[in-house]
């Protein structure tokens, strides 16, 4: 997955959790939880969507690396697809 694809996955995951989430003009370094007013449950759903859409395994240890659009994209880009097509929550 290249960086642009990873950014698209982040956008799609956020829009699944926050319908109408507008990334137009959103700085790559903006905090996604703040920008889209995600509470803790929304954030967990966002992480699950990132994992599902990207095919990458994401764990609780990854949460600190999932703050900004750019952070999320970099993590997805650097991560290999989950083994055997399984996707973690």
- Please tell me the distance from the alpha carbon of residue 7 to that of residue 85, in angstroms, as a whole number: 21
Contact between 21 and 15 (Cβ < 8 Å) = yes
- Which is more confidently placed, 88 or 64? 64
The predicted model scores a pTM of 0.87
The CATH number of the domain covering residues in 3-18+31-81: 1.10.1200
- At residue 31, the 3 state secondary structure works out as strand
Residue extents of the structural domains in the chain: 3-18+31-81
Contact between 30 and 68 (Cβ < 8 Å) = yes
pLDDT digits (tens, 9 = 90+) for 16-53: 999 999 999 999 899 999 999 999 999 999 999 999 99
Contact between 46 and 13 (Cβ < 8 Å) = yes
**Which residues, 6 or more positions from 25, have their beta carbon under 8 angstroms from its beta carbon?**
none
| pLDDT class of 84 with cuts at 50, 70, 90 | low
């Amino acid at each position: 997955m290249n960086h642009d694809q990873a950014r698209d996955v982040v956008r799609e995951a956020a829009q699944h959790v926050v319908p109408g989430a507008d990334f137009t003009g959103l700085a790559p370094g903006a905090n996604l939880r703040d920008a889209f007013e995600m509470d803790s449950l929304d954030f967990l759903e966002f992480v699950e969507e990132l994992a599902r859409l990207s095919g990458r395994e994401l764990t609780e240890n990854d949460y600190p690396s999932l703050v900004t659009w750019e952070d999320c994209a970099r993590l997805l880009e650097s991560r290999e697809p989950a083994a055997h097509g399984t996707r973690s929550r």
